[in-house]
Amino acid sequence: MAPARRNGRKAHLYCNPLANRAGGCDILGMADHGVVETEMRQKGLPVRVRIALAALLIAATLPRSEAQSAKTMAAPTFYIAASGDYSKYSPTLTLKGASNLPPGAKLTVYLYDFIGYKSSALSEEATVTLPESSLFEVTLKPLEGKTFKQNMVCDISFIPHGVVPQESAVLKITGRTGESLGIGTNPQIGKNSGGY
């Protein structure tokens, strides 16, 4: 094919398959001037090879991007995380949290004035059952004669063998005495008498 001519110059076809979704190529600066014949300019790899490489690159990166965004992040061990905001204008405190303990696990929640020797509970005991979503919310009320204050400590416990009985489906995963909770690797595990 002879190169197209415009004012005595050759018109070259530059094709960017990624820029033109219809798959065609436009003649730069010549489309509206009745030019019919063009010469394909090639540098390095042939256009077909460039298109194939671009398609391969796109195909290789799309599944990985989708897989990374859909990937469920998992903790190496079981966890419980929560937060709440104290307000001196509210007699209660709402705590919101998440855990990857099995759905149906019962968590016991207390607020304490501080950590350590001679600390005392400020809230009534509250129990929350983990739903399928693994997100929980519980409203805590102060014990009679106590009030909430700044910098309280929240204790959220999963006790496999405690006063609040756990479902057998939960204990099948965590262990009857908590032996499957990640003993030795989970920094949130504490040992009680007779179990974890």
Q: Where are the domains positioned within the chain?
A: 4-70, 80-174
pTM exceeding 0.85:
no
* Per-residue pLDDT tens digits of the chain, which is 196 residues long: 444 444 444 433 333 434 444 444 443 443 444 443 434 444 455 666 667 666 666 666 555 444 444 555 566 688 999 999 989 999 999 999 999 999 999 999 999 999 889 999 999 999 999 999 999 999 999 999 999 999 999 999 999 988 889 999 999 999 988 888 888 788 878 766 555 4
What strands lie across the sheet with 126-129, from one edge to the other? 126-129, 106-112, 153-157
> What is the distance of C-alpha 79 from the center of its chain?
15
> What CATH topology corresponds to 80-174?
Immunoglobulin-like (2.60.40)
